[in-house]
């Protein structure tokens, strides 16, 4: 995937002017004065990318500046987070990340950033249900059959994910732990490309967010076994929950939020939060999210405080589970 160099960066190089780059001297009161880059830590065409593009349009309208989406794949989202952590805190580089922000510190002992110390939070976006899905011609028809099949064929079954630190990897880990198997994992730069291979029959099954799988389950291009949330999902009413189908320990929601480097001024964060609120109240965003099996978070969750609380709570939740599993990303 070719990375796009934001026009602002080119302007920085040619004009050699910090103000033109929205750099350290930029006036927060005037923000935003130029294009903003939203950094997506996974491949284009996948669930995080989809959510980002849906909110970017109304946020761009509200902020009065273009928003460019940049996909920075690698190491389960940690490459992108490390990139944004090292940027100027001028509000022109915004990271969107999900539950992986809370699992990275325990998965990557040498992580070069701290999710809590190197970022300011902007607000939560959505909490997306996951689905357990398989290639259309995979033998098991139900989650119960999948469990039995995987137990019997653990040495040949392949499990796709978006790398260590991805939500798909975390959900897959919970499935392996619940069944008591260690499967061959096939990592991708995102579940966008993983889903393409699943549809093509190159891998057997995976976990993925409804924002990536709802349409393919509905069309029959892939097989859906269950949703990983306590409640069924309106867009996929026939799919049982994992608890209903016998895997109650496989429960995970993929919460997303926006982050900026920690030295970003509160004034800039407030403007981004306000624009995010407007975007999440946009009827087109609400309808598109619903078609994809999700919804914007409640308005009182679109705040830095709510997102920081969520991040802290999720770090506390996942750290002992990941440490007990012995899984590391390097
Ligand atoms: C994940 O598994 O973390 C996501 O599905 C990544 C993505 O957006 O591709």
What three-state secondary structure class fits 250? coil
Ligand 1 atom nearest to CA at 169: 2
Q: What is residue 327's predicted lDDT score, i.e. its pLDDT?
A: 86
Summarised one tens digit per residue, pLDDT across range 266-277 is 999 999 999 999
| Token code pair at residue 129 | 């249900």
Given pLDDT bands bounded at 50, 70 and 90, which one contains residue 330?
low
Q: Please tell me the total number of residues recorded for the chain in this structure.
A: 330
Q: What one-character DSSP code corresponds to residue 296?
A: B
> For all residues of the chain together, what is the average pLDDT?
92
Given pLDDT bands bounded at 50, 70 and 90, which one contains residue 5?
very low
Summarised one tens digit per residue, pLDDT across range 91-131 is 999 999 999 999 999 999 999 999 999 999 999 999 999 99
Ligand 1 atom nearest to CA at 192: 9
What three-state secondary structure class fits 235? coil
Q: What is the DSSP string of 183-233?
A: -EEEE-SSHHHHHHHHHTTSS-EEEEEHHHHHHHHHHTSEEEEEESSSS--
Distance 84 CA to ligand 1 centre (A): 18
- pLDDT of 287 over the 60 cut: yes
> Rounded distance, CA 277 to CA 301, Å?
10
Ligand 1 atom nearest to CA at 190: 9
- pLDDT of 18 over the 90 cut: no
> Rounded distance, CA 190 to CA 161, Å?
7
To which residue do tokens 């919460």 refer?
A: 255
Q: What percent of the chain has pLDDT over 90?
A: 89
Given pLDDT bands bounded at 50, 70 and 90, which one contains residue 38?
very high
Q: Are 220 and 134 in contact (CB under 8 A)?
A: no
- pLDDT of 311 over the 60 cut: yes
Q: What percent of the chain has pLDDT over 70?
A: 92
Rounded to the nearest angstrom, the gap between the alpha carbon of residue 229 and the centroid of all alpha carbons in its chain is 16
Q: What is residue 277's predicted lDDT score, i.e. its pLDDT?
A: 98
Q: What is residue 24's predicted lDDT score, i.e. its pLDDT?
A: 52
Ligand 1 atom nearest to CA at 189: 9
| Token code pair at residue 43 | 């491949």
Distance 25 CA to ligand 1 centre (A): 35
Average pLDDT over residues 198-218: 97
- pLDDT of 279 over the 70 cut: yes
* Burial (Cβ within 10 Å: 0-12, 13-18, ≥19) of residue 309: middle
Distances (CA, A) of 104 to 187, 229, 329: 16, 22, 9
Q: What is residue 218's predicted lDDT score, i.e. its pLDDT?
A: 96
Q: Which residues of 220-233 are buried (b: 16+ CB within 10 A; e: fewer)?
A: ebbbbbbbbbeebb
> Rounded distance, CA 287 to CA 292, Å?
9
Cβ of residue 105 lying under 6 Å from some atom of ligand 1:
no
> 190: which residues sit within 8 A by CB, 6+ positions away?
42, 43, 44, 45, 46, 48, 49, 71, 73, 162, 166
- pLDDT of 194 over the 70 cut: yes
φ, ψ at 253 (rounded to 5°): -110, 140
Distance 26 CA to ligand 1 centre (A): 33
> Rounded distance, CA 101 to CA 256, Å?
9
pTM of the complete model: 0.90
Cβ of residue 191 lying under 6 Å from some atom of ligand 1:
yes
Average pLDDT over residues 146-175: 96
- pLDDT of 68 over the 80 cut: yes
- pLDDT of 7 over the 70 cut: no
Average pLDDT over residues 277-281: 98
3-state secondary structure 110-131: CCCCCCCCCEEEEEEEEEEEEE
**68 sits in which H/E element:** strand 67-71
Nearest CA to ligand 1 atom 8: 48
């Amino acid at each position: 995937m070719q990375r796009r160099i934001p026009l602002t960066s080119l302007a920085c190089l040619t004009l050699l002017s910090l103000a033109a780059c929205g750099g350290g001297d930029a006036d927060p009161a005037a923000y935003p004065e130029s294009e903003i880059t939203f950094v997506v830590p996974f491949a284009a065409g996948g669930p995080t990318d989809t959510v980002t593009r849906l909110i970017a349009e109304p946020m761009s309208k509200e902020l009065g500046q273009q928003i460019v989406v940049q996909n920075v794949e690698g190491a389960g989202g940690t490459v992108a987070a490390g990139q944004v952590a090292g940027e100027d805190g001028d509000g022109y580089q915004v990271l969107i990340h999900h539950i992986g922000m809370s699992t990275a510190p325990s998965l990557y002992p040498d992580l070069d950033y701290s999710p809590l110390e190197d970022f300011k939070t902007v607000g939560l976006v959505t909490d997306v249900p996951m689905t357990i899905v398989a290639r259309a011609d995979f033998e098991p028809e139900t989650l119960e059959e999948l469990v039995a099949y995987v137990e019997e064929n653990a040495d040949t079954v392949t499990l796709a994910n978006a790398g260590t630190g991805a939500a798909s990897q975390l959900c897959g880990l919970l499935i392996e732990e619940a069944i008591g198997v260690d499967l061959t994992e096939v990592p991708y730069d995102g579940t966008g490309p993983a889903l393409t291979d699943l549809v093509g029959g190159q891998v057997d099954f995976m976990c993925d967010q409804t924002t990536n799988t709802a349409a393919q389950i509905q069309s029959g291009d892939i097989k859906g076994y269950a949703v990983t949330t306590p409640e069924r999902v309106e867009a996929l009413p026939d799919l049982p929950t994992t608890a209903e189908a016998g895997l109650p320990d496989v429960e995970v929601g993929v919460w997303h939020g926006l982050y900026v480097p920690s030295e970003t001024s509160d004034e800039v964060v407030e403007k981004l939060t306000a624009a995010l609120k407007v975007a999440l109240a946009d009827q087109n965003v609400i309808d598109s999210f619903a078609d994809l099996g999700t919804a914007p978070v409640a308005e009182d969750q679109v705040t830095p405080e709510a997102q920081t609380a969520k991040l802290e709570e999720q770090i506390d939740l996942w750290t002992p589970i990941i440490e007990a599993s012995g899984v590391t990303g390097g």
